Structure 1
């Protein structure tokens, strides 16, 4: 028999052999990964194989599964056969050692193989050599008495020599076990011959009955014990610990009542609401001593009552997703009545949508459903149910309860593994790598502590850190990620205008020790978005890294917590940014000598702020040492110290040190004295001192003012205009000051505005002062702009209070 003209009975035999061997877990994983066939149906077949069910039943179930796989996917036969051959099996191969499976008549059989049952040869086949009991060899063998259809099994005389071959026909098919009994002899041998008459039969032990004609059709259903049945084998999507549902009481009452002794009990609900698991739990509680008949979808159920009777004992018919079992050859009203008469209850599940469609649809299914006793199961859990879940003290369930926010716990448990697997495999170039990274960005934001939906722009910014070279539009990627899977949820969930990763993805990522860490740039984004929500998680993250010796993590932890200890450790570990910050902190405390090496390390790494601060620290030390030199009578020290004091605006002390230097014979100090007098506007004194400096060969400063000096207002305005035209904001602000001095208010407003726009904080400050008297609110706004730009006068004015803005 061929399946889809591709798979043969020999393939069934080979695959059955693999299922009994050590290679089966690997083959099963490949079948599942390539989506070859129904995984639930395969699990049922495995359960039957493990429970010691008759080989014919197991083989029939496997034949049905293979036929269905070939119909679903044309590539399935080739792929399944390749997997079998990869494990050392093949068409006609028995596979690893195990209970013997009789070969199908359509498959090849090696007569020399002692592991199989001995069957008579067909004399009409020229390729078969004559055996010791072959009439063609001249040795008559035992025959079979009785009518043409059946024999009694007693050996009788065979045909006379020379009487000719037996009636030609297909090879006989042995059915049933042929295991050796005690002492190595075969026992309980049953032989069935398909069509025609019997030729030579090799008898092993005592043959009780010899049947001619086609064998009875094998039972395609799987039979399980209710007390030990695996929920996955019955169609459940997860096998976690069961938590009692509110509907259990009503379901137990129905199964314990008349419906449990014959009738249809139906559990309905939304997809993934836990219908199958709830029905399985009730089956174990109320009917643990029953055998459970689990037929594959599409099975012809018309002779089911007879099959049940043949098996004996009490049983339950299990029909998960009942809509797949309705129809003229499935469960209809007459069959339900026959099962009820035999005391066989039917326990089934059905989605709400499927129930509504069939209950109020075609007459046949509607008649069946009208006789059902239904129990409705809610997708969202009640407070009582969530309380029972918490009481179980199970980490997996508590995680599910947290991430699904107390709703649809069963959907979360069922869909979570599928979402994780789809997201993981989407990383491949042939799948959806951009979608994988977008979902990764959402997962990372949640790992940072942003468990609520985040704005789309934040999600896109986080994505850019994972895919810096991707500047494309993300609308199609969002659509892919948000598409609902299994009718429940997508990888990304849109809520209140924002996006978040589905909770199970975040939970799985948090539980995965090998999951890549969140990039520091994403932590920065999350902290900037909601510092309060992220700070605790960021602290844990960076503390763990810091304790492992990560200098960058030490620096970030110091910034996050304000810890000076972690800042020092980061600086000592060689982090340039931390070195600059720690050096400035030391300098602020007056520990300039201790600050120098840290500031120097940061400055050499390119930190301009650290370089400036290092210069100021060194300048302060220089003034200290120059003071020591001046106090000791060194004229150059007194001169240089005077220059530094002059530069800082301390004219009096500068002149004092200049005088000491002059008295000690430092002639070049005359130029510095002349520059100071010229700065004061004391031109005659300046020229005298500068002439003295020139006579001492110090020509760094001219004795007379240069003829191109800016002396008039017009020249000043022209000069400032040129500077402003070249983008100097300070020049524009000074032009505003000139306008204000001449009471040109509109001109001042224009120039102050332009100065601020060119980046001069003084422009905003002058605008605030100008508007303070008549437009105080506008003035306050300008003062805030100046303070934000760092103008010291504006900062002090705002710190002193709003009344000082216009003061």
Structure 2
């Protein structure tokens, strides 16, 4: 390191002024004793190359990060090589101390570093150095020089003697103190005028941030996007210690859990701010939230503690641009492993991170989740695997089905996992596998799974009946037509005709084909198929043909309809009560009231609500309101809306009469 040249005459007196002083061509100094302020032997001072990587005065104690090269390093080190007094200035927590200390270790590894205690009398230092074998192979390190400028501190005279001995001075000073001491006429200004000054800026350049991002240390990488990098690095370990203490001591347990939630969200891959409610939903999942509930402070107290600014830098939670959004302090993030294991964070943290992230970042989060939850498969942790499935399902990833299957296989009693597996597999078209898991879910009482299972069976039945019908099986074509008659009448008609192409099956499908044609308004062809069914003894065809003929005006058709109703009804009123009902309605229309009422009563007693309704109408028109009310009530109880309306009208009329 640099040193000054000897002057022709250079005498000095330090300490107390005594008697006569001899002036000579060159006398280094006259030191008149100051007892009680002896310095340690300079040979005991640590060598720079053996000194710790961080200065003793660096904030953070022993838990300080390795020094990361800064853009100003080359200029600072050149100053140390060429000048005896180098002063590093800058704003608080800008990295002055770390930069200067790293430069000393780099430029003068063989020098012994003297870091004087606060009460050191610097006037004794030159003599101690002259008397030691260490001599000029030392460097004076003064962090925060402003504290060493008082009585007995560093002054222009002592600095001159050290320069003569070849002992460089490396010091730091805040911008404010430098401005206060440098510009004036006193001895402090005289001292500082001889220093070579390098100012460390608070901001970090893009090149420096790139080095942060490429650093092997996660705490460096964690603050690469922070505005005040050095401040965050300086207080990171302090925040970490306080956060852990809060969780252990219980003094701010809820605040600790709130910060933990933000940490987990960031560790999952999203470092931006998230809504406070999302952090609270996450912190509810921690075991401590329930097990230590009596220790929890209020939500407001927890937030105040977590966001309180520490060391004039930042809180553990840092506010986002949007109201009531927060993110974790970057320096805290670097203290934990990333990415985390599935068991190491709350499951909700993955959901919060993925929801908050943009599409590109979300892909990375889901990839990290796959890796993290992969360990859950080895551990057969059904709950964790189910959570992973839900996460993927929420973002439309078909792989969710595989995770639900794994979760259900690990815990067959997990109805949610089984139901989700079945639904996801069905959505992928894997119906056979879906049925297995839906049936498992149904056994645990999952009604939605039962509904989907029925639909799947119905769909599969349609599929296989179509395969069989196209393969020439008329019964399959007939059954398929019945299934499709309500939803796809055109396809149902095609399938009925397909079945009717087989001579041996034509009579069997006749009634179904006639009914569909009748509904479609193709009455003439429908009648043909009905009559074919009647000839074959199909009672359904008998009834349906009677209904068709009863709707005509000619007496011959009505007579035939009556005969057909009787024929169907004779097969048993319980089985063919609809025919009995229609026959009764027909008799009433023909004026055969007594006979018609008897038929309707038989059908109504067999459970036909339409017959009960018609019977009530006949009795009401005949003035028998009491019996009419009974039959309307019975029909309405079976879901007949017309009967319910008629009953209401009857009651209203009775109320009006009473009024």
Normalising by structure 1, what TM-score?
A: 0.51
Structure 2 counterpart of 1:330, from 153, 162, 165: 153
Change (3 A) 1:603 1:254: same
Change over 3 Å in CA distance of 1:354–1:624 after alignment to 2: closer
* Maintained 8 Å contact 1:670/1:690: no
Instruction: Name which of 376, 379, 382 aligns with 2:199.
Output: 376
2:80–2:86 contact (8 Å) kept in structure 1? yes
Deviation sequence 1:155-176 (CA, Å, 0-9, x none): xxxxxxxxxxxxxxxxxxxxxx
What is the match of residue 599 of structure 1?
Answer: 438
Q: What displacement does 1:610 show?
A: 1.0
2:98 aligned partner? 277
Structure 2: gaps (5+ residues): 1-33, 493-511, 520-529, 543-567, 617-627, 650-659
Q: Identify if the C-alpha distance between structure 1 residues 324 and 401 changes in structure 2 by more than 3 Å, giving closer, same or farther.
A: same
3-state SS of 1:508 partner: coil
Show the 5 A alignment for 1:411-430: 411-430=231-250
8 Å Cα contact 2:268/2:368 also seen in 1: no
Corresponding residue for residue 504 of structure 1: 331
- Alpha-carbon distance in 1 for matches of 2:373, 2:597: 64
**Does 2:139 correspond to 1:299?**
no
Seen in structure 2, the aligned counterparts of structure 1 residues 673 and 341 have a Cα distance that, compared at 3 Å, is farther
SS class of match (1:611): helix
CA contact (8 A) 2:342 2:384 kept: no
* Other structure's SS at 1:509 match: coil
Q: Does the alignment pair 1:478 with 2:303?
A: yes
Query: Is 2:398 aligned against 1:562?
Result: yes
Output aligned runs, 1:724-803, within 5 Å: none
Partner of 1:659: 540
Larger RCO of the pair (alpha carbons < 8 Å, separation 6+):
2
The answer to whether 1:441 aligns with 2:264 is: no
Task: Say which of 477, 484, 487 aligns to 2:312.
Answer: 487
1:610 alignment partner, one of 437, 449, 455: 449
Query: Which secondary structure state, in structure 1, belongs to the residue aligned with residue 336 of structure 2?
Result: helix
1:318 CA drift (Å) = 1.1
- Residue 54 of structure 2 aligns to a residue whose secondary structure is coil
Return the structure number with greater helix share.
2
Q: Which residue of 1 aligns with 2:347?
A: 520
Structure 2 residue corresponding to 1:541, chosen from 366, 369, 385: 369
CA RMSD of aligned residues (A): 5.1
Question: Partners in 1 of 2:215 and 2:153 — Cα distance?
Answer: 41
1:427 CA drift (Å) = 0.5
Point out where structure 1 has 5 or more consecutive residues left out of the alignment: 1-213, 721-807
Q: Distance in 1 between matches of 2:430 and 2:79?
A: 84
What secondary structure, in the 3-state scheme, does the structure 2 residue paired with 1:302 have? helix
Change (3 A) 1:365 1:500: farther
Does 2:50 match 1:228? yes
Q: SS of the counterpart of 1:379?
A: coil
Correspondence list, 1:35-50, <5 A: none
Q: Which residue of 2 aligns with 1:136?
A: none
Match of 1:450 in 2: 270
Q: Name the CA shift for 1:239/1:425 in 2 (closer, same or farther; >3 Å).
A: closer
Distance 1:643 1:689 in 2: 35
Q: C-alpha distance in 2, partners of 1:437/1:239?
A: 25
User: 3-state SS of the aligned residue for 2:366?
Assistant: helix
* Structure 1 pair 586–704 and aligned structure 2 pair: CA distance change class (3 A): same
Instruction: Note if contact 1:220-1:299 (Cα within 8 Å) is conserved in structure 2.
Output: no
CA displacement at 1:330 relative to structure 2: 1.8
Structure 1 residue 295: deviation in Å? Answer: 0.8
Going from structure 1 to structure 2, the CA distance change for 1:282 and 1:571 (only over 3 Å counts) comes to closer
- 1:254: which partner in 2? 79
CA distance in 1, matches of 2:208, 2:352: 38
CA shift digits 1:56-97 (9 cap, x unpaired):
xxxxxxxxxxxxxxxxxxxxxxxxxxxxxxxxxxxxxxxxxx
Distance 1:504 1:565 in 2: 37
In 1, the alpha carbon distance for the partners of 2:429 and 2:583 equals 35
Residues 491 and 690 of structure 1: CA distance in aligned 2, closer, same or farther (over 3 Å): farther
* 336 and 324 in structure 1: CA distance in 2 versus 1, 3 angstrom threshold: same
Q: For 1:706-757, what per-residue CA distance to the aligned partner results, in whole angstroms no more than 9, with x for missing partners?
A: 43459999x959979xxxxxxxxxxxxxxxxxxxxxxxxxxxxxxxxxxxxx
What's the CA shift string for 1:443-498, capped at 9, x where partnerless?
Answer: 12212332112233433443444447699754443332233333333211123133
Counterpart CA distance in 1 for 2:216 and 2:434 is 51
Provide the C-alpha distance between the structure 2 equivalents of 1:529 and 1:507, rounded to a whole number of angstroms: 21
**Distance of aligned partners of 1:580 and 1:375 in 2 relative to their CA distance in 1, 3 Å threshold:** same
**Counterparts of 2:199 and 2:154, CA distance in 1:** 21
For the Cα contact (< 8 Å) 1:490–1:502, is it kept in 2? yes
Q: Tell me by how many angstroms 1:327 deviates.
A: 0.8
Task: Classify the secondary structure of the residue corresponding to 1:224.
Answer: coil
Match of 2:39 among 219, 226, 237: 219
Q: Against the structure 1 CA distance between its residues 327 and 606, is the aligned structure 2 distance closer, same or farther, given a 3 Å change threshold?
A: farther
Secondary structure at the residue paired with 1:510?
coil
In structure 2, the partner of 1:700 is 607
CA distance in 2, matches of 1:541, 1:365: 60
Could you tell me whether the CA contact under 8 Å between 2:259 and 2:316 is conserved in 1? yes
Does the C-alpha gap of structure 1 residues 282 and 428 become closer, same or farther in structure 2, counting only changes over 3 Å?
Answer: closer
What secondary structure is seen at the aligned counterpart in 1 of 2:74? helix
CA 1:615–1:512: 2 relative to 1, 3 Å: closer
Cα deviation for residue 255 of structure 1 reads 2.5
Question: How many correspondences in the alignment?
Answer: 491
Q: 1-side partners of 2:248 and 2:599: how far apart?
A: 84
Match of 1:431 in 2: 251
Is the 1:576–1:602 contact (alpha carbons within 8 Å) kept by the matching residues of 2? yes
Distance 1:242 1:374 in 2: 21
SS in 2 for 1:336: helix
- Alpha-carbon deviations, 1:276-299, whole Å to 9, x = none? 232223223433443222211232
